[in-house]
Structure 1
């Protein structure tokens, strides 16, 4: 039963979207039979964005399969919504519609959208929706349905019929409330939010396809780049960049860390004329690609993320036990900091403080030429769930361990520079904690598989406090020089796991990812695990921050955990293909097997 309700909601959303554009219940007079051109050839050239789903079958098969329906309907969020009066009222309407057509909503949704769907938005916030049904009868059935619902809604409110119609050549155009218009042309339904938009569509229909958005060079390039995607969103990025929030996001960044991560992306977007999002689904994987004609300028401030020669790029992420997330970057840190005046021209107090501290830690060495120049362009970060020794302490609030891994150009010399800076930083931490009468870190040298490294740890907590100890016991910072790599880790455990991973990587002769500059991977199940370990803390925070009852807070936290369990993992790769921007996000969905039979 829940599965049928979920499917009904999908179809109901389509009907409710169309209702404002309807007229009185009357069968539309069909236009003369014609071979319909692709829907985007009817979209006026002024369109700012176009969403095209040319063949919905694959998306419908994927989203309406039993496992997906069961995953949604078994979630606490859905169960809470289904108990509401509005949901029951909607379900009554859905039952009526199913009875009218003697078919369930899965069948009806496919019938009404089988030929594709296209949604376009104009720069003046106008909108256009084109639906291609299975055949002319299906189009007319949907037309009659939405008219009936609209007429009934107006009657319930005691409103007069606001519908007029006009004949435009062989097409009957329905106008609702003086603005909303729609027309049925063969198996195609066209909905426009203003008469002028409908006029533009009909004019484009009868004219040259090159006069439509499909004739735009930018649109053609985007569709070609998207290939056989099951859904494509095209955006005129020239206009998008004029939108104040976007313009602000693309402006100079005052935060160096954000500039390090995002500068190659914003640089490519600044030079782009179009942006496309291409969606594909297959088995348990969703793939979303962001494509653009923008590039990283070899002379621009973001060239520090541009591989110096072919075959270079970020290294594969390190595989460690209990990994939550990992990031691998190709970044020339020397080139990045040398361009700081262009990347973040504002001398913020945070940046000044950072440079002063680096001067202390690195004994006055020039940060650009004598520190960052000693590192290679491959940068890797890792976060992993921890295990704890109950004989030392198990913190009440558990946070992930995290680490930074850099390649050294001159390991023998630079490892000593890093060791000195590391111990100065630990000394400063201990001095500050001592001023506050707090326990300090004890520095030691230990060995792991022949590699000696430095670790700092707190003395074990008193026996009675070990089961729910202070947050400081999440940290056992370590610095290790393993071959040509320097590892800065929040825990010794993760540092040793990374040493093992680097050894395996060397034996496997891992190669960098070509045509990329950034790689991020996230493990959903591991994220759910660490959040579950902190469930009580999350519930308390929810109650304090949102004013929820304990039951409400537990429900919201439960929804988050359920979502993460469904997320098997995600991988984001950003770079360029043939010089053009490309970001590819792949999400693995982990669904339980569908149960047979209804409950």
Structure 2
């Protein structure tokens, strides 16, 4: 019984309600009582918003109404938990939702000290209800073994140990718990001591709090100075072995090395949820880990994403590929097998040209990826597994030279794929040069299905690789239909002259509604995969996939941006939920 009640308390920790309380107005903020050498602290300052999102959103309704959730509620463990909740509702004279809002109305704060102790503070807007809850828990803990419950006075507070090694106390409307008794004593000592010993007085915490903003529903502070002293953390920051990671997250590792703190801020505005991360470390423009992703001019940066029909995701980066690859020996002194293979293949495709000075020097730093759902030709058929189309859009300095260079490499790549396909008895690709909207492009397509290939087509019919050059843009796409859509999009962009997003080096946008559409088109294949990999029954697999599809559809649109705001590196994720 006590274990189930502890689960209920854990729920109180995770989700909260909102309403300013008299207690909160009269009592110092929790960080005034938390020791100065704390490693990390999480503050839920507007619990009502968090609770509404967690318990009353469409996403929650979809999950709780699903057969899988209803089936889970029939499990013995969950039924026992529900019985415990009903018992507590009766004893406290309130339903659990109302009780949860009252118990957490002033905010929830959790911290990890430098000694590894977890501290929790919950500010209740109803001190009497909190006292009732504590009395109930103490009474239940004494059942069967009254001696297990111990109490002691310390710094004017009554500290309780219910026999599980943890310690807690209640001061007015504030519940304070620590994973070890010495952790609770440290909190009470900080409370009784001068403010200079508290986290609240730490300049780094104040700076992180300011960067999070006053409108954050929740915020977190991490003392990177302490974290980087942990075994393996500093070694991991000093070691560069992943070129792809360094290219995607340019400057982040360097910023982590220079930073003393990291701040996280969660903001909720109706159906829009945003999470912002900020590092205080200044990234040097001369840093080899960041220079290739940092624009020096105010009109430079990642470009806005291209808009095409059935868009699933758009990704835009500002990356100087020439500068990045030129510094590879310093960035990655160990030549891995993957890097060697990459260089060998590039040597074949580009006829032995120097990859740094003759190939990558052709490209400007603006790089974009596009992912979209395909619209298949009914005369050819639809593949059994429908993959999205994807494309790489590059900007070049010298369009004519780049067009010849990419055309040669593209045809070699198609030839190599056709050759290896022939070795497996699979038809290769046929190359054509059609024209669309006055733009001539190259396309490679698989021949018509053989007589033995009846019904849903093999997966290779998802691919119709294409290459198009338009103005100073080069499009390399997996599907001809996406190439044509991008030609239209690029023509509109050329007429509008879009402005670069200054101080933004990475921009990723996801349309979850369109993602749900392509997942729905592959529902049968996903169900089969679930049955084979997890051993589920047909009904169980269908329920699991339908829950996934429903949840994805409700997510709406998501945007992730990474860049440098002033002297700080900042990442921001914004999710707009569907109504």
Fold shared by both chains (TM-score > 0.5): yes
Residue ranges of structure 2 left out of the alignment (5+ in a row): 14-22
Indicate whether 1:184 and 2:170 are aligned. yes
Aligned to 1:545: 533
1:303-452 correspondence runs (5 A):
303-452=291-440
Aligned residues: 565
Q: Is the 8 A contact 1:50 1:121 kept in 2?
A: yes
Question: In the alignment, which of 263, 271, 276 is matched to residue 289 of structure 1?
Answer: 276
1:18 CA displacement: 8.2
Once structures 1 and 2 are overlaid, which stretch shifts more, 166-175 or 448-457? Answer: 166-175
Aligned to 2:20: none
Q: Secondary structure at the match of 2:121?
A: strand
For residues 535-586 of structure 1, what are the alpha-carbon distances to aligned partners after superposition, in whole Å with 9 as ceiling and x for unaligned? 2222222222223333332232222212212211211001111121111001
1:79-98 correspondence runs (5 A):
79-98=70-89
Question: In the alignment, which of 581, 586, 592 is matched to residue 569 of structure 2?
Answer: 581
Once structures 1 and 2 are overlaid, which stretch shifts more, 321-330 or 429-438? Answer: 429-438
Q: Secondary structure at the match of 1:467?
A: coil
Question: In the alignment, which of 487, 499, 508 is matched to residue 511 of structure 1?
Answer: 499
Q: Write the distance in 1 (CA, Å) between the matches of 2:135 and 2:203.
A: 38
Q: Is the 8 A contact 1:236 1:275 kept in 2?
A: yes
Question: In the alignment, which of 488, 491, 509 is matched to residue 479 of structure 2?
Answer: 491
Q: Is the 8 A contact 1:268 1:294 kept in 2?
A: yes
Question: In the alignment, which of 280, 286, 289 is matched to residue 299 of structure 1?
Answer: 286
Aligned to 2:180: 194
Task: Give TM-score scaled by structure 2 length.
Answer: 0.92
Q: Write the distance in 2 (CA, Å) between the matches of 1:581 and 1:126.
A: 30
Q: Secondary structure at the match of 1:393?
A: coil
1:442 CA displacement: 0.6
Change over 3 Å in CA distance of 1:421–1:244 after alignment to 2? farther
1:404 CA displacement: 0.2
1:449-488 correspondence runs (5 A):
449-462=437-450, 465=453, 467-488=455-476
Q: Is the 8 A contact 2:8 2:85 kept in 1?
A: no
1:567-578 correspondence runs (5 A):
567-578=555-566
Task: Give TM-score scaled by structure 1 length.
Answer: 0.89
Aligned to 2:243: 256
Q: Write the distance in 2 (CA, Å) between the matches of 1:492 and 1:431.
A: 21
Q: Write the distance in 2 (CA, Å) between the matches of 1:69 and 1:141.
A: 30
Q: Write the distance in 1 (CA, Å) between the matches of 2:307 and 2:211.
A: 32
1:14 CA displacement: 4.5
Q: Write the distance in 2 (CA, Å) between the matches of 1:290 and 1:34.
A: 29
1:313 CA displacement: 1.2
Change over 3 Å in CA distance of 1:321–1:178 after alignment to 2? closer
Q: Write the distance in 2 (CA, Å) between the matches of 1:545 and 1:581.
A: 41
Aligned to 1:166: 152
Q: Write the distance in 2 (CA, Å) between the matches of 1:178 and 1:284.
A: 40
Indicate whether 1:502 and 2:496 are aligned. no
Q: Write the distance in 1 (CA, Å) between the matches of 2:209 and 2:5.
A: 28
Aligned to 2:42: 51
1:12 CA displacement: 7.8
1:376 CA displacement: 0.8
Q: Is the 8 A contact 2:12 2:104 kept in 1?
A: no
Aligned to 1:26: none
Question: In the alignment, which of 223, 235, 238 is matched to residue 222 of structure 2?
Answer: 235
Change over 3 Å in CA distance of 1:114–1:65 after alignment to 2? same
Change over 3 Å in CA distance of 1:583–1:16 after alignment to 2? closer
Q: Is the 8 A contact 2:138 2:162 kept in 1?
A: no
Q: Write the distance in 2 (CA, Å) between the matches of 1:249 and 1:319.
A: 38
Q: Is the 8 A contact 1:390 1:467 kept in 2?
A: no
Q: Is the 8 A contact 2:155 2:189 kept in 1?
A: no
Q: Is the 8 A contact 1:120 1:127 kept in 2?
A: yes
Q: Is the 8 A contact 2:124 2:174 kept in 1?
A: yes
Q: Secondary structure at the match of 1:250?
A: helix
Aligned to 2:128: 137
Q: Write the distance in 2 (CA, Å) between the matches of 1:391 and 1:242.
A: 63
Q: Is the 8 A contact 1:259 1:344 kept in 2?
A: no
Q: Write the distance in 2 (CA, Å) between the matches of 1:359 and 1:307.
A: 30
Q: Secondary structure at the match of 1:461?
A: coil
Q: Write the distance in 2 (CA, Å) between the matches of 1:169 and 1:254.
A: 52
Q: Secondary structure at the match of 2:170?
A: strand
Once structures 1 and 2 are overlaid, which stretch shifts more, 555-564 or 346-355? Answer: 555-564
Q: Write the distance in 2 (CA, Å) between the matches of 1:487 and 1:575.
A: 25
Once structures 1 and 2 are overlaid, which stretch shifts more, 63-72 or 389-398? Answer: 63-72
Aligned to 1:7: none
Q: Write the distance in 2 (CA, Å) between the matches of 1:149 and 1:522.
A: 49
Q: Is the 8 A contact 1:11 1:109 kept in 2?
A: no
1:517 CA displacement: 0.7
Q: Write the distance in 2 (CA, Å) between the matches of 1:109 and 1:216.
A: 32
Change over 3 Å in CA distance of 1:523–1:145 after alignment to 2? farther
Q: Please report the RMSD computed on the Cα atoms of aligned residues, expressed in angstroms.
A: 2.4
Change over 3 Å in CA distance of 1:286–1:13 after alignment to 2? farther
Q: Write the distance in 1 (CA, Å) between the matches of 2:313 and 2:235.
A: 29
Once structures 1 and 2 are overlaid, which stretch shifts more, 480-489 or 213-222? Answer: 213-222
Residue ranges of structure 1 left out of the alignment (5+ in a row): 1-9, 20-31, 592-599
List, as ranges, runs of 4+ consecutive aligned residues in structure 1 with deviation greater than 6 Å: none
Q: Secondary structure at the match of 1:576?
A: strand
Q: Is the 8 A contact 1:393 1:460 kept in 2?
A: no
